[in-house]
Amino acid sequence: MSLFGSMTTAISGMNAQSRALGHISDNVANSSTTGYKRVDSTFEDLLTQSTSKIHTPGAVSVTPDATVSLQGSITQSENPLALAISGNGLFSVARPSGTDNAGNIQYDSATPLFTRAGDFTKNSQGYLVNGSGYALEGWPVTDGVANTGTLTPVKIDTSAYPPTATTRATLAANLPATPTTNSFSTQMTGYDELGNAKPVTLNWTKSETVANQWTVEATSGGASLGTAVATFSDGADATMPAGTLLSLAPADGVTTLTTTANSGKGSDASITFNGTTPLTLDLGSYGTADGVTQYAGTAYEQRSLVVDGAPAGAYSGVTIRDNGDVVLSYDNGKSKTVARVPVVTFPNPDALQREDGQAFSLTTEAGAMQVSEVGTEGAGTLATSALESSNVDITAEFSKMIVAQRAYTANTRVLTTTDEMLADTINIRR
C-alpha cells in the first residue's frame, strides 16, 4: 500500500537530512581547525519500482563527500616551523604508538598517515609534531644528500656542533701592478681539531728583480708555514690573459709545502702548507680572474676570503626552507641540514580514509601514493611560517543548514499526513 511506502520514504528522508545536518554541524564546529577538510553531503535515490504505469515510493540515502583536494586559505603564522602546502599533496605524519623503557616517545611509521595540518612545533624530545600530536616525517639527510628511500619522523638534535679543523682557505684578491709599497698582508683565522683559533697571516711581497712575480709566505704564531712564488702572465701567451696567475712554485729551499703545477688555463691553482693539519690555500684557477690577479692599481684589494673549519657551536635554532630542508643553526655561524620534507600525492585524494586529528589513511580507491620533492611531479609548493585554514565556508554551511531543516520538516509533514490518512482508513469501519 502506498501509504505505508510514503511513511517509509518520509522516515528515510528524515534520516538522510539528519545525517546531512550532522555533516554540517561537524563542518561548523571545525571552521577554525587548521587543515580541516569539510564533509559535504551527496543524496541518492533508492528505487523500489518505477514503470510507465506505476511508481512505488522508494527511499533516499546520504553519503559523505570528502573535500581533501579542496584547499583552504593560507595565512602567515608567527610560528617559524608552521608549514602549508599550496596546491596538490599532503604531509606524511606518524602517530604516537607509546613509549620505550626510557620514556622516549615511539612513532608508528609502518602505518602511513597524511595531513594538511602543518601547525608543527618541537616537542620535549625534539620531534616536530602538529597540534594533534602527529610527527612530521621527512627524508633523512646525511652530508647534504637526502635518502629518498625512507620516511622517518623529523627529530631535532640540539647537541653541540663539533669543532672542525681548517683545511682550506679560498682567496680572491688583486695584487697591484704598480704598488706604492712592495708588501701586503692578508689576515685569516683557522681552527685546529679542538676548535682552538689559529691566526694565519699571508704576506705578499713583490719581486724587485723579476717582473710580475710575488712571493707569498704564511705565518702562524710567529712561525713560518712556508713560502711560495706566484708569477702572473704578461699577456705573451694568448691563452693566459695578462694579469692572471701563470705559475706557482715553492720558493728556493722550501720543502714544507707543495703547489699545483701549471697545467693550463682553468686548472686549479693552490698551495698546500704541510703541517700537523695541512692547509690548502686556493688562489683560483690559472689564466682566469676568479682568484688572485695582478691588475692595474697601487693598493691591495681583497675581494673575498672563505676559510673552512669552525670552533664548537651551541644549537641556536631550526628553520624549514621553501624546498623542505630542515636546517639546524649554531652560534658559531654554521648550519646543518638534517632532513627534507617531501609532499605526498594521490590520484584520488578525496577517497582517503578520514582519521582523528585532520589525518587521513590509505585506501585502495585513493590510488598509489607518490612521494615527491616540493614543487615537482605535480606536488604543491611549500609555504613556510604559514598555515592552511579550514576549507569550511560558514555562509554556505548556514545555507545548507536551512535547506536541511526545511527538508526535514517537510518529511515530518509527509509522515504526519500519512499517519492521519492511515487513521482515516482504520476509522472507515466505525
The answer on 174 and 122 residing in a single domain is no
The answer on 291 and 175 residing in a single domain is yes
Q: Establish how many alpha carbons lie within 13 A of residue 243's alpha carbon, considering only the half-sphere containing its beta carbon.
A: 14
End of a domain among 307, 337, 354?
307
The pLDDT assigned to 4 comes to 76
The answer on 409 and 332 residing in a single domain is no
- pLDDT tens readout for residues 7-25: 888 899 999 999 999 999 9
**Domain containing 192 — which CATH number?**
2.60.98
The pLDDT assigned to 309 comes to 92
Domain count, the chain: 3
- pLDDT tens readout for residues 247-291: 998 988 777 788 886 767 888 899 998 867 788 999 999 999 999
The answer on 195 and 297 residing in a single domain is yes
The answer on 121 and 45 residing in a single domain is no
Distance in angstroms (rounded) separating the CA atoms of residues 386 and 87: 14
The pLDDT assigned to 430 comes to 64
For the chain, what is the mean pLDDT?
92
At 427, the pLDDT band (50, 70, 90 cuts) reads: confident
All 3 cell numbers of residue 214? 710575488
Q: Residue 69: name the closest of 344, 341, 348 by CA.
A: 348
The answer on 207 and 300 residing in a single domain is yes
The answer on 285 and 219 residing in a single domain is yes
* Residue 210: other Cβ atoms inside 10 A: 10
User: Does residue 119 have a pLDDT over 60?
Assistant: yes
- pLDDT tens readout for residues 159-176: 999 999 999 999 999 999
The pLDDT assigned to 282 comes to 94
The pLDDT assigned to 337 comes to 96
End of a domain among 290, 307, 324?
307
Give the range of the structural domain holding residue 252, as residue numbers without chain letter. 168-307
Per-residue pLDDT averaged across 238-244, rounded?
92
The one-letter code for the residue type at 389 is: S
The answer on 189 and 302 residing in a single domain is yes
CB burial string 28-41: b at 16+ within 10 A, e below = bebeebbbbbbbbb
The answer on 139 and 92 residing in a single domain is yes
End of a domain among 269, 291, 307?
307
Per-residue pLDDT averaged across 19-35, rounded?
96
The answer on 232 and 260 residing in a single domain is yes
The answer on 401 and 337 residing in a single domain is no
The answer on 294 and 198 residing in a single domain is yes
Cα 256 versus chain centre, distance: 46
